[in-house]
Copies of this chain bind each other. A is one copy, B any other.
């Protein structure tokens, strides 16, 4: 079996479908898209679509994996090249450089299921890193509360910034976010 060639074709088809989905989301919003729209745009047969993805949602979420992969790379470069690396800044920068993709996936034209997946992933990362910075203290706010707080405010600002094309740079957004959260977190966790 010519495995290499097959792989190439499979990859191509998947790419066509993903691209079509992103375009269509930006044009009319995830909810108004039908599978028919996608396969027409990708110029692919109906059965082909279902051979690769179980769902419209499945196709969408496959985009999340892709995004996460490129974000990892971006993070590594960021940490390698900076004296004071800041993951929040890295996130805003990454989003800025792939605005359309981010808007399609996380923005208001995107799908709730996508935002939920994004949230879960970031939460997982946070759960690994946070306890180290925010040791539990008597009388302090529980770590999980602080984490939901940080998560919601970060995602809220990020999506708002993207959706409305707010004219601040990634650096400005990250800076403002930090200035808003740091004092409270310090006060509450006594660091």
Q: A140-169, CB under 8 A of B: which get 1 and which 0?
A: 010001101101110111001000000010
**Chain B: which residue is nearest A111 at the CB level?**
B112
Between A149, A186, A188, the greatest number of chain B beta carbons within 10 A of the residue's beta carbon is seen for: A149
Cβ–Cβ contact A180 & B149, under 8 A = yes
A182 within 8 Å of B by Cβ?
yes
Q: How far is the CA of A188 from the CA of B181 in the complex (A)?
A: 10
Residues of B within 8 A of A181 (CB): 180, 184
Residues of A within 8 A of B (CB): 108, 112, 116, 141, 145-146, 148-149, 151-153, 155-157, 160, 168, 176-177, 179-188
Across the interface, do B184 and A180 meet the contact criterion of CB distance under 8 Å?
A: yes
Contact for A184 among B108, B146, B184, CB less than 8 A? B184
Known: A141-B179, A179-B141. A160 touches B188 (CB 8 A): no
Query: What 14 new A-B contacts, CB under 8 Å, besides A149-B177, A183-B184?
Result: A141-B179, A145-B168, A145-B176, A148-B156, A148-B157, A149-B156, A149-B180, A152-B155, A153-B153, A155-B156, A179-B184, A179-B187, A182-B184, A183-B186
State the majority secondary structure of interface residues on A: helix
Given the complex of chains A and B, what is the CA–CA distance between A181 and B183 in angstroms? 8
A144's nearest neighbour on chain B, judged by CB, is B166
Q: Which residues on B sit within 8 Å (CB–CB) of A112?
A: 112
Once the chains are docked, how many angstroms separate the CA of A151 from the CA of B149?
11
